[in-house]
Structure 1
Amino acid sequence: MPEALLLVLMAVLGAAVILVLGLVAFRAAGDRSALAPPMPAAYRDDATGAWRRGTLRFVDDRLALKGSGGLAAGPWMRGNLDLGIARPLAAAEAATLGRSNLIQVPATYGTSTFELALDEQHYTALRAWVEAVPPGWNSQVA
């Protein structure tokens, strides 16, 4: 009987190791599919909410925000994402994020609205990516 128990425990441990290695490989493959390196950003659902830190990624035709602990917002499809007029983030709010000179940009995706806070160069990259919608995206519009 003790040999059977030892065998079962070894099988469970082996399965756990294989599962962990598979998850690590899956996550690494997902990171390689991004078009650009992750960009530090902050996100909030509305103008009165608290900022949540994370990283933005352009993955194919989607924008995804991954927060701390793997929590995510989005993904947002590029053709349906509308960026509003950007403005500097207030110094007090930027200080709460541990950064300075951030750009705050409101965004609309369908009926939902949210805000992003990014460095200037990352905002420029985001704006260019959103405005470079692939040809034919709205070709059926009369």
Structure 2
Amino acid sequence: MPDSIILVLLAALCALVLLGLGLVLFRTFGDQGTGGAPIPAAYRRAGEDWRRGTLRFSEDRLALRGPGGLSGGPWVRGNLDLGMARTVAGRDAAALGRPGLIQVPVSYGSATFDLALDERHYTALRAWVEAVPPGWRNSPVA
């Protein structure tokens, strides 16, 4: 009987290791076909603390991934509204631990959140949002 218990425990351990490896591979390669390279960013909803994650934008969608997977979106490009950007300062800068980030409020329908990105990634995001092809602006919020 003790030998069968050891075998069951070893099988359960192997299953956990394989599941963990599968999750790591999925997070690494699972969305490779959805657009450009992931952009490091921090995000927060009103009243919440900053969380680190990555943004990925494709032809018409923006998705946000946090530590546990998909955290927000995907949002349709034509319905995103980027507010006035400013440099992250004060407690926010201390919480993020990186000086020189750009903070931008984002609206999507009735939802609002803040993003913090470095300047070059903010510029790329702003250009991507503002380069919406004709007819995509103000399509129904998905």
- The TM-score bracket by the shorter chain reads 0.7 to 0.9
Aligned length: 138
* Partner Cα distance (1:31, 1:79) in 2: 21
TM-score normalised by L of structure 2 = 0.73
CA contact (8 A) 2:79 2:137 kept: no
Note the alpha carbon deviations across 1:96-123, whole angstroms, 9 max, x for none. Answer: 2121111110110011111111111111
**What is residue 99 of structure 2 aligned with on the other side?**
100
Separation of aligned partners in 2, 1:56 and 1:93: 19
Answer whether contact 1:91 1:100 (CA < 8 A) is retained. no
Report deviation, 1:132: 1.3
RMSD: 3.0
* Corresponding residue of 1:32: 32
**Larger Cα-atom Rg:** 1
Q: How many angstroms does 1:74 deviate by?
A: 2.1
- Spell out the pairing of 1:41-120 with structure 2 (5 A cutoff): 41-46=41-46, 48-67=47-66, 69-77=67-75, 78-120=77-119
Identify if the C-alpha distance between structure 1 residues 13 and 134 changes in structure 2 by more than 3 Å, giving closer, same or farther. Answer: farther
Identity of aligned residues (%): 62
What amino acid does structure 2 have at the position aligned with 1:107? V
Q: Distance in 2 between matches of 1:73 and 1:14?
A: 29
- Report the Cα distance in structure 1 between the residues aligned to 2:107 and 2:137, rounded to whole angstroms: 18
Which ranges of structure 1 fall in alignment gaps of 5 or more residues? 1-10
CA deviation after TM superposition for structure 1 residue 45, in Å? 0.6
CA–CA separation in structure 2 for the residues paired with 1:89 and 1:21: 36
Question: Which digits, 9 at most, give the CA deviation of each residue in 1:72-101, with x for residues without a partner?
Answer: 322143111110000111143112212111
**Aligned partners of 1:52, 1:62: CA distance in 2, in Å?**
21
Which residue of the partner structure matches residue 4 of structure 1?
none
Equivalent residue number for residue 133 of structure 1? 132
Amino acid at match of 2:68: G
1-structure distance, mates of 2:57, 2:21: 25
The TM-score, its normalising length taken from structure 1, stands at 0.73
